[in-house]
Amino acid sequence: MAPHSPHSLLPHFPDKSWKFRSKAPAAALEHKLSDSLEISPLLVRLLWARGLRTADDMNLFLSPGLRHLARPDQWSGLNHAAQVIAGAMAQGKKAVVWGDYDVDGITSTALLLLFFRARGVFPEHHIPHRQTEGYGLNIPGIETLAAQGLKLLITVDCGIGHPREVSRAKELGMTVVISDHHLPDAKLPPADAILNPKLGSCPCPHLAGVGVAFLLAVVLNRLLPGEHLDMRGFLDLVALGTLADVAQLTGQNRILVKNGLSLLKEGKRPGILALKEVCGYKPSAVLDEDRVGFGLAPRINAAGRLGHADTALRLLLAEDLTKARELAKELDSYNTKRRSIGREILSQAQDMAQGQTDRFGLVLYAPDWHEGVIGIIASKIAETLYRPTIILTEDESGHLKGSGRSIPEFSLHEALAACRELLTGFGGHSQAAGLRLAKDNLEAFRARFDALAGKAFDHQKPKPTLLLDAILGFNHVDYDLLKELELLAPFGPDNPKPVFLSPQVSVRNRKIVGTDHVFLDLRDDEAGVTLRAKAWNQAQALPQSVTGKIMQLAYTPKFNEFNGVTSIELALRDWSWQGS
């Protein structure tokens, strides 16, 4: 096995840094933890690199049972929010659940509707149309619901940034309970109760909206009259929404998602099973974070991007598999169209971004870009150019509407707050946000955003960093290692997939797969082992001439299943040629 501090073996990159995640524990402690937990020293090292220092903490991470969920009284505002809802329902107030049009909002809405229906309560729901209403609460929608006699407004995955709209709901005699997880502004809405893990003390400030909705339902399950439900049956929705929202996968989120993935695998919910089918997954296929993030989630999101999110909501609420299959096919067709639109806009945005390479923060605008895909485009530009990126388009009123994505070194929410006087509205997180502004303010906003980014980066172009966990020769990459690595899943923010540094290896063979993907057969001569590596969209960077060359690679080993045969392959994360 490699030495613990092999920094001198790292290749040098002018545009990217490779760094080891952390020092390993002392050898004696590493072996003690290994023996105590009955895991390999390498797995101890990986857990240590993720900030876990004791056998108890490591054991909880590896076995995140539901018994480790925090008590309701540990979540600030949770009991009060549930009591307000239960009290309003006891007074006969008819409820409406107001959600959002992304996966987190749709799963949150579905979870509460299914919960209430199972408890004999039948609230209405409202999910705004992205193109005509936009994100979050709006006064015309609230007035319409109040006119229908709906007197209890429960928000999920939205509401914290809408004091004016909540004030209007209160004027109309509505009881308002906000359940949200977005960053609050200085002025909180005048709601009857607010449940947000970013307010007050709580065990996990990084819950997704669906996690917040689940906690609310858990407490309501105890307060409402009638027979209590087994709340574990809703964890598939929690896992789906949390993974789609790219929430941090440690602590309480890890417990919820790890257990929810088991339910997703079973596919008992007709809508989930139908989604698995249109994604090409077997009915009993394991759904990991990749299959959720690249298979299920985009199809649910596509409804709100190109149509109406109610289509996806009806899928998750469906009780009949035949109907669920019809809806899943509709979502699949939306997703196909979304990809086509996205490719065209991405090409235009990339060309535009190339003209702004001197900027630290990118603000790209075209009046006819489809607002349903601009968030995806912002994400791709931010990742490719490693700059915080905002993509703007024009809405029907002539105002600009945008979506932004960032890099770890820069908080979008803080930057937008610093541009407050130039905006008509904004909200979101550190790494993802939405905004609106008048067209006349575009250039002033573009300059201010760039200046804020420049200051944050000390006027030096930011460089991405690839964090490595350990040096690992190919002789250590076997079935037992990969089964042990699976104990670390699900992977995501704060719990990334392990990345290993190889010794120098030779390229024995190169093969193109599809249009732009590459297979490399790599030989570790010291270990006497040849393994296959896969690189997505790298045919141009890895031409036929690489055959015979010596390289050092950063990689993640994984199982590959094809035609019923399981093999080991390496996901190629980055590489360096000998002498480069």
Reply yes or no: is the peptide bond before residue 490 cis, omega within 30 of 0.
yes
| Paired tokens of 564 | 């019923």
Instruction: Give me the CATH topology for the region 355-432.
Output: Diaminopimelate Epimerase; Chain A, domain 1 (3.10.310)
Label residue 113 by pLDDT band (50, 70, 90): very high
Residue 501 near residue 474 (C-beta atoms within 8 A):
no
Which pairing describes strands 517-524 and 529-535: parallel, antiparallel, or unpaired? antiparallel
pLDDT digits (tens, 9 = 90+) for 217-240: 999 999 999 999 999 999 999 999
Task: Check if 7-23+466-577 and 72-230 are the same fold.
Answer: no
Where do the structural domains in the chain lie, given as residue ranges? 7-23+466-577, 72-230, 355-432
CATH assignment of 7-23+466-577? 2.40.50.460
| The predicted structure's pLDDT at residue 516 | 86
pLDDT digits (tens, 9 = 90+) for 21-70: 878 899 999 999 999 999 999 999 999 999 999 999 999 999 999 999 99
| The predicted structure's pLDDT at residue 3 | 35
12, pLDDT greater than 50: no
9, pLDDT greater than 50: no
Supply the DSSP string of 509-520, one letter for each residue.
EEEEETTTEEEE
pLDDT digits (tens, 9 = 90+) for 433-474: 999 999 999 999 999 999 999 999 999 999 999 999 999 999
Q: Span 89-99, mean pLDDT?
A: 98
Q: Span 93-110, mean pLDDT?
A: 97
341, pLDDT greater than 70: yes
Question: Measured between alpha carbons, how far is 60 from 452 in angstroms, rounded to an integer?
Answer: 40
- Rounded to 5 degrees, φ, ψ at 253 are -60, -40
DSSP 3-state of 500: strand
| The predicted structure's pLDDT at residue 2 | 40
| The predicted structure's pLDDT at residue 522 | 96
pLDDT digits (tens, 9 = 90+) for 361-373: 999 999 999 988 9
- Give whole-number Cα distances, 156 to 106, 181, 203, in Å: 9, 9, 20
| The predicted structure's pLDDT at residue 423 | 95
Supply the DSSP string of 103-156, one letter for each residue.
HHHHHHHHHHHHHHHHTT---EEE---TTTT-SS--HHHHHHHHHTT--EEEEE
Closest by alpha carbon to 395, among 373, 369, 419? 369
pTM above 0.85, yes or no: yes
Residue 347 near residue 366 (C-beta atoms within 8 A):
no
Angle of helix 297-306 relative to helix 321-354, nearest 10 degrees, comes to 80
- Give whole-number Cα distances, 304 to 100, 189, 238, 411, in Å: 9, 26, 19, 26
pLDDT digits (tens, 9 = 90+) for 132-145: 888 899 999 999 99
- Give whole-number Cα distances, 272 to 276, 289, 303, 309, 335, in Å: 6, 15, 15, 16, 16
The helix or strand, by DSSP H or E, that contains position 354, with its residue range, turns out to be: helix 321-354
| The predicted structure's pLDDT at residue 6 | 42
Label residue 15 by pLDDT band (50, 70, 90): low
| The predicted structure's pLDDT at residue 537 | 85
Give the residue carrying structure tokens 């509205």: 425
14, pLDDT greater than 60: no
DSSP 3-state of 69: coil
If one counts every other C-beta atom within 10 angstroms of the C-beta of residue 370, the result is 17
Label residue 1 by pLDDT band (50, 70, 90): very low
- Residues of 135-147 as b/e, b for ≥16 C-beta within 10 angstroms? bbbbeebbeebbe
Question: Measured between alpha carbons, how far is 286 from 265 in angstroms, rounded to an integer?
Answer: 5
Residue 263 near residue 235 (C-beta atoms within 8 A):
yes
For the chain, what is the mean pLDDT? 93
Label residue 564 by pLDDT band (50, 70, 90): confident
CATH number, domain 72-230, options 3.40.50.620, 3.90.1640.30, 2.60.120.260, 3.40.630.10: 3.90.1640.30
| The predicted structure's pLDDT at residue 579 | 60
CA 33 to chain centre: 32
Q: Which segment of 90-104, 125-139, 195-209, 228-242 scores lowest on mean pLDDT?
A: 125-139
Burial class (CB in 10 A: 0-12, 13-18, 19+), 341: middle
